[in-house]
Amino acid sequence: MWVVVKGWSRAASACIVGRRGVSCSSSCSSSWASTGTGGRRHGSTRSEDAADPPKVLITGGLGQLGVGLAKLLRRRFGKNNVILSDIKKPPKHVFHSGPFIYSDILDHKNLREIVVNNNISWLVHYSAVLSAVGENNLTIGAFGPSSPRDPAPELCVQRPRTIYGVSKYYHHRYGLDFRCLRYPGIISADFQPGGGTTDYAVQIFHAAVKSGHFECNLHSDTRLPMMYIDDCLRATLEMLEAPASALGARTYNINAMSFTPGDLTREIRKALPDLRVTYRVDPLRQAIADSWPMAFEDSAARRDWGWKHDYDLAELVQAMLTHVTPGNRLVHAN
């Protein structure tokens, strides 16, 4: 899940001093106008009432989303305007790519100091524990067994409880321009899987290229919503830059496709016909997957700020195989 706030100077204390242990993706946003494109865009607009770029802090930044978003935002706003942070030591290439600091979101005093000392205007929270190694996943895992699954609507009961209700209160009580995205499973070739229930959709590509055999830990007909990382990062930037007047909600679903392990296997075999897939179901991951939505309903994002995905299943498979295949040499389907 992901969030945005405007009027940061007035509301920062209330936002940061929120309940201990509540983690979300949060971005605190000031209006900004730019002539750069930062990649393909589909109808999002920006407020033109300010000339200075935002100063961005990304927490939990060493995962696939944080590093990718920092790269995108630095291209758009300038390297020194985007600060990446985490509680771990960064790899050398990340450390040298732009500003990096230590930041623990549970240390509220230190987080306030970082915001004030660096004049932060957007705060993006990616601090979370992945679903299969923790209790909650703050993307599709924000739903639960009692939530509608096919598709999961924009507004519905969410169990376990999430930051949504708290954020709505701070928006009305303190004037926070709080914006939240619910991500589906995100697929990227740049990072090894880290314990999430949708990891199979990344692991299968590496196994297909390396050995030609993949053992899947979910049933072949387990349908889950998915998205390629380029679409995810672009959606995040477009949501950050959308004018508040265009937004009819504080929280939005975004979606690109839904597929099963069987669907993905058949699409990969169009390029790698000898791929062999077997199934050894992990009861924990399967139980989590069975409690999640099979599809996201994201018409509000498409209507309000012009969200439109670029990658369907065929495009995702082509992009992933291109990135994980040595020398980028593929057997292309006829």
Active-site positions?
164
Retrieve residue 298's tokens: 């994201």
Q: Is the dihedral of CA 44, 50, 53, 57 positive or negative?
A: negative
Q: Strand 257-259 vs strand 224-228: parallel, antiparallel, or unpaired? A: antiparallel
Q: Give, in order, the Cα–Cα distances in Å from 212 to each of 220, 259, 279, 320.
A: 18, 21, 14, 15
* CA-only gyration radius of the chain, Å: 20
- Dist. CA 84–CA 316, nearest whole Å: 27
How far apart, in Å, do the first and last CA atoms of the chain sit? 39
Q: Strand 100-102 vs strand 82-86: parallel, antiparallel, or unpaired? A: parallel
| Residue 151, preceding peptide bond in cis (omega within 30° of 0) | yes
Length of the chain: 334
Retrieve residue 296's tokens: 């996201």
- Dist. CA 157–CA 170, nearest whole Å: 20
Residue recorded with tokens 């507004």: 155
Of 169, 164, 180, nearest to 28 by C-alpha is 180
- Within 8 A by CB and 6+ apart from 276, the residues are 212, 213, 214
